[in-house]
Amino acid sequence: MMVSKIFDRSNVVYVRNVPGKGRGVFANVPFKVGDLIESAPTWGFDKVAGSLVDKTGLFEYYFVRQGRKHEKAPATGYVVFGFISIVNHSLKPNARIVWADEESGAWASIVAIRDISADEEITHRYTNISAYPLHINFVE
């Protein structure tokens, strides 16, 4: 049986296909500016692992974290375990990624930067678009 929407456990967001983009994340409830949409744990990897990840389909789903102070062995990319990993790009996003380093590791949260209506696609601005191959088109 095929379903058109897949919901998260809290039913605040769902995933469905978007023509020309693939999967996208949508609000099932309205969000106000500053609302937390989702928070998820991550797996950080270094440049060596990154060169391998770049050769896989995972390349399109990992995050590059901007503005982080360097540590002894800084991660160059992060796989985010949650719906955040399939939130689509927009030049006029309605949400942004907020990073936090906890004892349990790095966490990524997506937070509304403007009011988001129910059934509106949730988007954020990708920070590493220049790293994508030219054959990948970003659809607004």
Q: CATH no. for residue 67? A: 2.170.270.10
Flag whether 56 is in a domain: yes
Q: pLDDT tens digits, the chain, 140 residues: what are they?
A: 556 666 666 789 999 998 888 899 999 999 999 999 999 999 888 888 888 887 877 766 777 776 655 555 566 788 899 999 899 888 899 999 999 988 888 899 999 999 999 999 999 987 655 555 455 555 56
Q: Per the structure block, which two tokens stand in for 35?
A: 């609302």
pLDDT at 108: 92
Please tell me the number of Cα atoms within 13 Å of 23 on its side-chain side: 15
Domain count, the chain: 1
Residue 140 falls inside a structural domain? no
Tokens representing 33 are 């500016």
Range of the domain at 21: 6-131
Residue type, 18: V
Judge whether 1 lies within some domain: no
Q: Per the domain annotation, does 139 fall within a domain?
A: no
In a domain, 85, yes or no: yes
Q: Is residue 136 part of a domain?
A: no
Does some domain include residue 81? yes
